Amino acid sequence: MTPEQYVQEKAAASGSSFYYAFLFLPKDRRAAITAFYAFCREIDDVVDEVTDPSVAASKLAWWQKEVSQAFAGQPSHPVMKALMPLTNSYKIEPRHLLAVIEGCQMDLEQNRYLDFPNLQRYCHLVAGIVGEVAARIFGQTDEATTAYAHKLGLAFQLTNIIRDVGEDSLRGRIYLPVNELQQFDVKAHEILKREYSDRFTALMRFQTERALGLYDEALAMLPSVDKRAQKPGLMMASIYRSLLREIAADNYQVLHQRVSLTPLRKFWLAWKTQAFGRVV
């Protein structure tokens, strides 16, 4: 299996909404975003699939070394072999990859966040930086597009947090800020035991409204000169906003299941954004 085949399979196997947006890109850009996304999946899988924290920490340390070696001209992992030939073309720097690793390291060291500003730091590393790199690959020409990409990344990550409340709690992680749990009088043990309540519904409605507001803010920040190039990000925004509406329509039943859209619906939303150039 070639490095290119490896990253393609890694990206496709995830079933992520992001994959559907990649399908509409030109070949070279699609190759770059697929390799970068496969890197992100590799790092994320270390934290989610390795049960021993010390082993996970060792694996992340290995990846930090691999990034340094790869940019020194000696990649050894298939993901880095696929990504490295494309880094110069799309201005992908070591700091970008190391930030993603740093964000995942936070998952090994921290499973609660006191308030939203603290959560934002985590989101910046695991999603904002990812958005920055993606915007470059998609064809960013205006420097202001970076701020849009970071804001959109934050909205994406908050959507993931809302969708995965129950799944994350099984790993002992509750990303919802502690002071907001207190504000709505929702106890951590209720989430861990998958106990629904009107208080939990109100908390999740609050989280959803904030995320939807961030999508609106991000889309308003996108410079008009880059709207065409950034269509893949707009496709993902359309899919993720539809997912949030689906979760709300289901009355935030996220503790015992992972709400998702069908592959056909994701493709349809991506196609509509590609065809009409706006988020639905």
pLDDT at 64 over 60: yes
Are both 1-109 and 115-279 of the same fold?
yes
- Alpha carbon distance 247, 205 (integer Å): 10
pLDDT digits (tens, 9 = 90+) for 135-181: 999 999 999 999 999 999 999 999 999 999 999 998 889 999 999 99
Extents of the domains making up the chain: 1-109, 115-279
Assigned fold of 1-109: Farnesyl Diphosphate Synthase (1.10.600)
Residue 278: its pLDDT value, please?
Answer: 62
Helices (H), the chain: 3-14, 17-22, 27-49, 53-71, 78-83, 94-109, 116-123, 129-138, 145-163, 165-170, 178-183, 188-192, 198-221, 231-249, 263-276
pTM of the full predicted structure? 0.92
- CATH number, span 115-279: 1.10.600.10
Q: Of 50 and 45, which is predicted with more confidence?
A: 45
Lowest-confidence region among 50-59, 146-155, 217-226 = 50-59
pLDDT of residue 280: 54
